[in-house]
Chain A
């Protein structure tokens, strides 16, 4: 079967750096998305990786290793507003989108 694993919850301190991991086992691979979802709000697109390596976008970076079936989202200089759930989604070989259950990130002052 197809599966995406993310930690359920993580806690970090304001100003620090946090890495949210996502591992996947899918039938084929055609890209990986990260979305951010604040409580009670809709998910919003953060990043997309299809090739190995690091994609940087301001305070957020996303890394992909296709051979390891692994990605991470790196958040730097954490702010209180970064408290949210982070969803990993993989586009499989049939271009179906498989979603992880999300990681709830709690930022403490």
Chain B
């Protein structure tokens, strides 16, 4: 069974730009969660989607948004990029929810200059 895939793997943007990240979950998994990871901060939960609906949201500003398509693929968008948005963005899929065992993708490394 193919694992979770994320594209692109690396991105370099400048302040003020926007970015869209993509995640394809494991086949059959309906829950997709997004996390931001920075050194020393651990995983910070952004949001979870299940069957095209946002089920949970973390404590991030409205510049961070996402969506899920009918095939469970998910996208995450960050608008008006700030230097502090530089991080590894991880996507995780699970069968029933973010509280279940999660399977992570390799991540997208975003650098904002």
Contacts and interface: CB of A to CB of B under 8 A. Distances in A.
A95 B99 contact: yes
A45 B97 contact: no
Q: Which of B4, B45, B99, B107 has the most CB of A within 10 A?
A: B99
A34 B43 CA distance: 13
Contact of A102 (B42, B44, B90): B42
A42 B5 CA distance: 11
Contacts, number: 41
A75 interface: no
Nearest to A92: B99
Q: Which of A41, A43, A48 has the most CB of B within 10 A?
A: A43
Q: Which of B43, B102, B105, B107 has the most CB of A within 10 A?
A: B43
A109 B40 CA distance: 26
Contacts of A41: 106
Contacts of B44: 99
Contacts of A99: 42-45
Interface in A77-109: 87, 89, 91, 95-97, 99-102
A30 B99 contact: yes
A100 B44 CA distance: 9
Interface of A: 8, 30-31, 33, 41-45, 48, 87, 89, 91, 95-97, 99-102
The 8 closest A-B pairs by CB, nearest first: A42-B104, A101-B42, A95-B99, A99-B43, A91-B99, A43-B104, A99-B42, A45-B101
